[in-house]
Structure 1
Amino acid sequence: MKRNVLSAAVLLAATLAASGAAVAQTPTLYLGSYGGSTEKLFKEKIIPAFEAKHKAKIVYVAGNSTDTLAKLQAQKAAPELDVVLVDDGPMYQAMQFGFCDKVADAPIYKDLYPFAKLGDTATAVGVVATGLMYNTEAFKKLGLPAPDSWTILTDKKFSQKIVIPPISNTYGLQTLVKFAELNGGNAKNIDPGFNAIIKQVNPNVLAWEPSPGKMTELLQNGDAILGVWGSGRVQALKETGFPVEFVFPKEGAPALMIAACPVVKSDVPELSQQFIQYLLTPEVQADLAASQGFGPVNRTAKLEPAVAAKVPYGEAQVSKLQASDWDTINTQRTDWTNRWNRTVER
Structure 2
Amino acid sequence: MQNTNIELDKSPSPENVKRRQIIKTIGATIVASTIAAPFVNVRAQEKNFNGKTLRFLTWSDDTGLAALRNIAASFSAKTGAKIVADRADGTSGMVAKLKAAGNKPQYDVITLAGVGAYGLGDAGLLMQPDLARLPNLKDVPEQYRSGANGFGVGYLLWTDGLIYNTKTMKAAPTTHEALWDAKYSGRIFLPPPSWVEAVDLAIIAAQMSGGSQKNIAPGFQKLAQLKDRILMLGENPNQVAELFRTGALDLGGIYSPAFFPAAIKKPEYNMGVTYDMKEGFAAQLMYTVIPKSHPGDLDLIHAFINHSLDPLVQGKMAADVLNGPVNSKAIVSADGSRFVPSARHIADKALVHDDKALALVQSEWVRRYTEMFSA
Q: TM-score category by the smaller chain?
A: 0.7 to 0.9
Q: CA deviation at 1:184?
A: 2.3
Match of residue 296 from structure 1: 325
Match of residue 33 from structure 1: 59
What 5-or-longer segments of structure 1 have no aligned partner? 6-23
1-structure distance, mates of 2:181, 2:99 = 41
Q: CA deviation at 1:321?
A: 2.0
Larger mean CA deviation between 105-114 and 181-190 belongs to 105-114
2:233 partner letter: W
- Verify the 8 A CA contact 1:89 1:170 in the aligned structure 2: no
- Verify the 8 A CA contact 2:187 2:231 in the aligned structure 1: yes
1:200 aligns with 2:225: yes
1:246 aligns with 2:273: yes
Secondary structure of the equivalent of 2:231?
strand
Provide closer, same or farther for how the CA distance between residues 61 and 260 of structure 1 changes in structure 2, counting only shifts above 3 A: same
Of 298, 312, 327 in structure 1, the residue corresponding to residue 341 of structure 2 is 312
2:215 partner letter: N
Provide closer, same or farther for how the CA distance between residues 193 and 85 of structure 1 changes in structure 2, counting only shifts above 3 A: farther
Secondary structure of the equivalent of 1:185?
coil
2-structure distance, mates of 1:263, 1:269 = 12
CA offsets 1:138-195 (integer angstroms, 9 cap, x no match): 335xxxx542221222234434432232243232221111112112221112222222
TM-score normalized by the length of structure 1: 0.76
Match of residue 11 from structure 1: none
2-structure distance, mates of 1:190, 1:74 = 37
2:151 partner letter: T
TM-score normalized by the length of structure 2: 0.71
Match of residue 257 from structure 1: 285
> Higher Cα Rg: structure 1 or 2?
1
1-structure distance, mates of 2:125, 2:271 = 38
Provide closer, same or farther for how the CA distance between residues 235 and 249 of structure 1 changes in structure 2, counting only shifts above 3 A: farther
2-structure distance, mates of 1:217, 1:305 = 25
2:220 partner letter: F
Q: CA deviation at 1:307?
A: 4.9
Larger mean CA deviation between 238-247 and 302-311 belongs to 302-311
- Verify the 8 A CA contact 1:72 1:79 in the aligned structure 2: no
1-structure distance, mates of 2:320, 2:143 = 23
1:84 aligns with 2:114: no
Equivalences, count: 318
Match of residue 185 from structure 1: 211
Q: CA deviation at 1:249?
A: 1.8
1-structure distance, mates of 2:94, 2:75 = 22
1-structure distance, mates of 2:313, 2:95 = 24
Secondary structure of the equivalent of 1:172?
helix
Match of residue 358 from structure 2: 329
Q: How does 1:218-233 map to 2 (within 5 A)?
A: 218-228=243-253, 229-230=255-256, 232-233=258-259
2-structure distance, mates of 1:239, 1:265 = 41
2:265 partner letter: E
Q: CA deviation at 1:329?
A: 1.2
1:138 aligns with 2:165: no
- Verify the 8 A CA contact 2:51 2:80 in the aligned structure 1: no
- Verify the 8 A CA contact 1:128 1:231 in the aligned structure 2: no
Secondary structure of the equivalent of 2:325?
coil
Q: CA deviation at 1:32?
A: 2.5
Q: How does 1:259-274 map to 2 (within 5 A)?
A: 259-268=287-296, 270=298, 271-274=300-303
1-structure distance, mates of 2:227, 2:163 = 17
Q: CA deviation at 1:67?
A: 5.2
Q: CA deviation at 1:112?
A: 2.2
2-structure distance, mates of 1:262, 1:253 = 29
Of 74, 78, 102 in structure 1, the residue corresponding to residue 128 of structure 2 is 102
2-structure distance, mates of 1:178, 1:332 = 16
2-structure distance, mates of 1:342, 1:72 = 35
Secondary structure of the equivalent of 2:169?
helix
Alignment identity in percent?
24
1:47 aligns with 2:77: no
1:122 aligns with 2:152: yes
